[in-house]
Amino acid sequence: MSETETIKNPLAEEKIGRLMAKFAIPAIISMLVSSLYNIVDQIFIGQGVGMLGNAATNIAFPVSIICTATALLLGIGSASNYNLEAGAGNQDLASRIAGTGLAMLVVSGTLIAIVILCFLDPLLHVFGVTPEILPYAQDYTGITAFGIPFLILTTGGNHLIRADRSPGYSMICMLTGAILNTVLDPLFIFGFHWGIQGAAWATVIGQVVSGCLVLWYFIRLRNMEMTRRMLYPRSRYLKAILSLGMSSCINQIAMAAVQITMNNTLRYYGASSVYGADIPLACVGVISKVNMVFMAICIGISQGCQPIWGFNYGAGRYGRVRETYKKSFTVSLLVGMVFWICFQLFPKRIVAVFGTGSEMYFHFAERYFKIFMFLTFINGIQPMSSGFFTSIGKAKLGIVVSLTRQVLFLLPLILIFPLFMGIDGVMYAGPIADSAAACVAIVLAFRELRKMNVEQEERSL
């Protein structure tokens, strides 16, 4: 790519702060809207169905994480490759990779839905369901499975839409489905008296509408070149997609593994505590959805910066890459401080939004918030740094950083600590894993930034 062609692209010339606002704000809104599918259901189910309904959505949550993992694997992998190749001037190759990614989003979503529907009950037992929660979990998970192909297409396709320089449309796709879900939830739950089934159908309808908007973009509104032949998956392109999407996927799969282990640990140790088995499951389900709001913002920052990092790294503009990382690091810390204050000062009020419960229910929720979420203010650094490595083509570093909190630190701790501390061990595992993961991410990221600085100085000699 010539210097003139590079300069014409706003990713190469606009101020970093303005670019981050242009791309990150729609990405954050899209991620928040995605989180709303689970949060809105949780609120209305808590108010209309009760604690067992909340617990059922927690049991079903690993399915949502698996879908997100698949969407990020293909969506971020495609978008990262697209921006890197476009930045290097290989536009035709970039479009072919995007076509393979889009086709695989449709195929993978269909296959996952079929597996969930065929093996629903065995999966729910693996996820940690209790006999009291089982009927609610069967209804909710069985119905929402029909929306999985559209959920994966929407989540993954939006990364490609942002990579195609249309962050506003990406936001509209997510926002439309979420608003529809929010309107239909109370209508189906309270108006039609469908209970937890109503919440599930509202979610599916919102996902279908969002997925159709994504399809419409690639049929009629795209900027990239896209022919029908480009939609046939090619193994060589898929390999490149999987390479750069793997870190985000592994992070989500690790979250699912931790969630399943957490559910079973809470069920086992909760049964022998004063709280019982169902209260911890319901509380952690609510708190994990609240934490999704914080993580959605941090991941949205990373996703918004992805085109900036990828294009400028591919074009050799390392100074802009470093500046973008440092600004995103600062914003992640500031956002974390705001949520840390809320989690420490208003835990009971936050949980009360999701329905009523016993005194023991609120007591456990308040302790879990204050202990497990104690280091929230640094939790945005790890996913943001993982996205940074993926965007610049450093797939292995992205995978290492994505594995740190969930697999290397949190998973062993929630298995070991309860052996000595009972159910409290789960709570104290959180801040230890958070601090260790943040340290690893910071060390690796700043080492990579120093390498870029040295390479740029050598080029200028």
pLDDT band at residue 444 under the 50/70/90 scheme: very high
**What is the C-alpha to C-alpha distance for residues 385 and 291, in angstroms, rounded to an integer?**
19
Does 2 score more than 50 pLDDT? no
Give the mean model confidence (pLDDT) for residues 444-451: 92
User: What is the model's pLDDT at position 135?
Assistant: 94
User: What is the model's pLDDT at position 220?
Assistant: 85
| Of residues 355, 373, 223, 208, the one with CA closest to residue 292 | 373
Is pTM beyond 0.75? Reply is no
As to burial, measured by CB atoms within 10 angstroms (0-12 exposed, 13-18 middle, 19+ buried), residue 354 is: buried
Give the model confidence (pLDDT) of 356-407 as tens digits: 778 898 999 999 999 999 999 999 998 899 889 988 888 888 888 888 888 8
pLDDT exceeding 90 applies to what percent of the chain? Answer: 44
User: What is the model's pLDDT at position 28?
Assistant: 85
Q: Which residues make Cβ contacts (< 8 Å) with residue 400, sequence separation at least 6?
A: 440, 444
User: What is the model's pLDDT at position 161?
Assistant: 93
| Of residues 109, 104, 86, 106, the one with CA closest to residue 234 | 104
Does 194 score more than 80 pLDDT? yes
- Cβ–Cβ < 8 Å for 284, 56: no
Give the model confidence (pLDDT) of 131-179 as tens digits: 898 999 999 999 999 999 999 999 999 989 988 988 889 889 988 988 8
**What is the C-alpha to C-alpha distance for residues 287 and 271, in angstroms, rounded to an integer?**
20
Q: What is the rounded radius of gyration, in angstroms, for the C-alpha atoms of the chain?
A: 22
Does 458 score more than 80 pLDDT? no
User: What is the model's pLDDT at position 38?
Assistant: 67
- Cβ–Cβ < 8 Å for 100, 234: yes
Give the model confidence (pLDDT) of 382-393 as tens digits: 889 988 998 888
Does 243 score more than 50 pLDDT? yes
Give the model confidence (pLDDT) of 291-329 as tens digits: 888 988 988 898 889 889 988 888 888 989 999 999 999
Does 224 score more than 60 pLDDT? yes
Give the model confidence (pLDDT) of 78-101 as tens digits: 998 998 888 788 888 989 999 999
- Cβ–Cβ < 8 Å for 304, 167: yes
User: What is the model's pLDDT at position 296?
Assistant: 84
pLDDT exceeding 70 applies to what percent of the chain? Answer: 97
User: What is the model's pLDDT at position 8?
Assistant: 61
User: What is the model's pLDDT at position 37?
Assistant: 65
pLDDT band at residue 5 under the 50/70/90 scheme: very low
Average pLDDT, rounded, for the chain: 88
